[in-house]
């Protein structure tokens, strides 16, 4: 049959064509029905069927519009990506040079509005290298991972009663003073012993001490000292003793729920930025409390809310492990210091130190223990030997030998620091610590 006969209309009265047998194929769609053309040969559009109004997406990413019977088009057709009508670029597409120019303009606007240095590349900062101050304990310096307490950070020291928290803080003050720095001690507990502090190496004549009456007064003094930019370390002893003024003015038994926590939260928000800007070491000593009704887990917590836990870069848990005896006399305590939080080095390291009553942390005990751990000193039975030199029989005798021979102790300490790749600190010169107080005020 020719194509013209197939397209010609059937005469009237002709029998209708039989319906095709089998299932109806609904997936195939024609844009023009071949059997419905007019006599002139022009194609007529087939009558629209009732179909779903939504677009039908069939395999290989081709999209069909069932309503308009359009030819299949790919999703990427139409307007080119990143181009607007007329060839203009969209906001999301910029040349590299345009991006750099826009960034430079934004940086200039920020510096004009907020001052020079408000934003900079991290590599452009002069103090990119972390500055540290020795803690006064060689074992603790190694546990901290950076050789001491980092400058410009907040540090929390907590633990049970008489565990050595204030001793650790006073040793840090002594090290700062040895390096030519300035120290301040805010004694909120009114329990500072100047005689004991002097035995630990603190120069009490150059130590600034404050014994405030309220928590607001203590934190205001701390903020003023840090804002001055002339103080290298500030110790607050303790957070639990920072009593809000409303509680002092009230009666015994009055409830002040969350008052101290709000006070600490506000103070730390104000101190965090200025401490970093002035590179001051802020040490908060804290006590322990127990939560009520805790059946599982550790019930211990620290007073003053949770703000200090977040703002502190280092948190030290100080606990007494055992008692040191010389014969039947108790001469000190074996103390374990655990770094439970550390933002400048890996956390959860521990340092076991000897705190001798009336003397503080034993430097010779740290050197002896670390030298044995590194095989610098050989322990055979009860004897300690360094090379061909017998240091002593028994730990206490070996410590006494190192105390009597400081040159040997310094040699061992130097080897230990080289093995652990930590330094001994540098002098806090006036040139390196010169800070514009006005800049600190503007920053805050």
To the question of whether residue 159 is assigned a binding role by annotation, the answer is yes
Question: Can you point out the beta strands (E) in 46-115?
Answer: 56-58, 62-64
Find the DSSP H helices in 279-404: 307-311, 363-373, 395-404
State how far the Cα of 386 lies from the Cα of 402, in Å rounded to an integer: 11
Q: Tell me the C-alpha to C-alpha distance, in Å, between residue 235 and each of 137, 167, 273, 278, 337.
A: 17, 12, 17, 15, 18
Of all helices (H) and strands (E), which one includes residue 178? helix 165-178
Q: Which DSSP string corresponds to 242-267?
A: ---HHHHHS-TT---TTHHHHHHHHH
Q: Tell me the C-alpha to C-alpha distance, in Å, between residue 289 and each of 300, 311, 350.
A: 6, 20, 22
State how far the Cα of 284 lies from the Cα of 215, in Å rounded to an integer: 13
Residue 284 has φ and ψ, to the nearest 5°, of -110, 120
To the question of whether residue 161 is assigned a binding role by annotation, the answer is yes
To the question of whether residue 166 is assigned a binding role by annotation, the answer is yes
To the question of whether residue 164 is assigned a binding role by annotation, the answer is yes
State how far the Cα of 140 lies from the Cα of 351, in Å rounded to an integer: 5
State how far the Cα of 175 lies from the Cα of 428, in Å rounded to an integer: 11
Strands 300-301 and 314-326: unpaired
115: left (phi over 0), alpha (psi -120 to 50) or beta: left
Q: Tell me the C-alpha to C-alpha distance, in Å, between residue 168 and each of 200, 324, 336.
A: 10, 18, 12
DSSP β-bridge partners for residue 156: 284, 315
- Extract the annotated binding site: 159-166
- Cite the annotated binding site for ATP by residue number: 159-166
């Amino acid at each position: 049959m020719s194509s013209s006969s197939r397209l010609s209309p059937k005469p009237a009265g002709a029998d209708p064509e039989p319906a095709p047998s089998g299932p109806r194929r609904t997936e195939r769609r024609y844009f023009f029905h071949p059997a419905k053309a007019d006599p002139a040969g022009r194609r007529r559009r087939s009558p629209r069927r009732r179909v779903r109004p939504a677009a039908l997406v069939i395999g290989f990413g081709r999209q069909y519009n069932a309503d308009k019977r359009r030819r299949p088009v790919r999703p990427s057709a139409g307007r080119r990506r990143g181009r607007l009508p007329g060839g203009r670029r969209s906001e999301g597409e910029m040349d590299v040079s345009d991006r750099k120019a826009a960034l430079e303009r934004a940086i200039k606007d920020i510096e004009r509005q907020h001052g020079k240095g408000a934003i900079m590349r991290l590599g452009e900062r002069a103090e990119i290298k972390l500055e540290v101050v020795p803690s006064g304990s060689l074992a603790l310096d190694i546990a901290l991972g950076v050789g001491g307490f980092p400058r410009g950070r907040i540090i929390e020291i907590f633990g049970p009663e008489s565990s050595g928290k204030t001793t650790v803080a006073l040793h840090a003050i002594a090290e700062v003073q040895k390096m030519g720095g300035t120290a301040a001690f805010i004694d909120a507990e009114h329990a500072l012993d100047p005689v004991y502090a002097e035995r630990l190496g603190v120069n009490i004549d150059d130590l600034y001490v404050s014994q405030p009456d309220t928590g607001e007064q203590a934190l205001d003094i701390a903020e003023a000292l840090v804002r001055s930019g002339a103080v290298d370390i500030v110790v607050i002893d303790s957070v639990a003793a920072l009593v809000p003024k409303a509680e002092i003015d009230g009666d015994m038994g009055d409830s002040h729920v969350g008052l101290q926590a709000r006070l600490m939260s506000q103070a730390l928000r104000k101190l965090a930025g200025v401490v970093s800007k002035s590179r001051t070491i802020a040490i908060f000593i804290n006590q322990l409390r127990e939560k009520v009704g805790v059946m599982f887990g550790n019930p211990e917590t620290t007073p003053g809310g949770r703000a200090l836990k977040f703002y502190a870069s280092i948190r030290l848990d100080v606990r007494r492990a055992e008692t040191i005896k010389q014969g039947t006399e108790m001469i000190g305590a074996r103390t374990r210091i655990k770094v439970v939080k550390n933002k400048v080095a890996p956390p959860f390291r521990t340092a076991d130190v000897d705190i001798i009553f009336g003397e503080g942390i034993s430097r010779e005990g740290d050197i002896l223990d670390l030298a044995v751990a590194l095989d610098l000193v050989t322990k055979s039975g009860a004897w300690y030997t360094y090379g061909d030199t017998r240091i002593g029989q028994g730990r206490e005798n070996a410590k006494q030998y190192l105390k009597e021979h400081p040159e040997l102790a310094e040699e061992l300490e130097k080897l230990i620091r080289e093995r652990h790749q930590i330094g001994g600190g540098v002098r806090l010169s006036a040139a390196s610590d010169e800070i514009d107080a006005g800049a600190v005020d503007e920053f805050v």
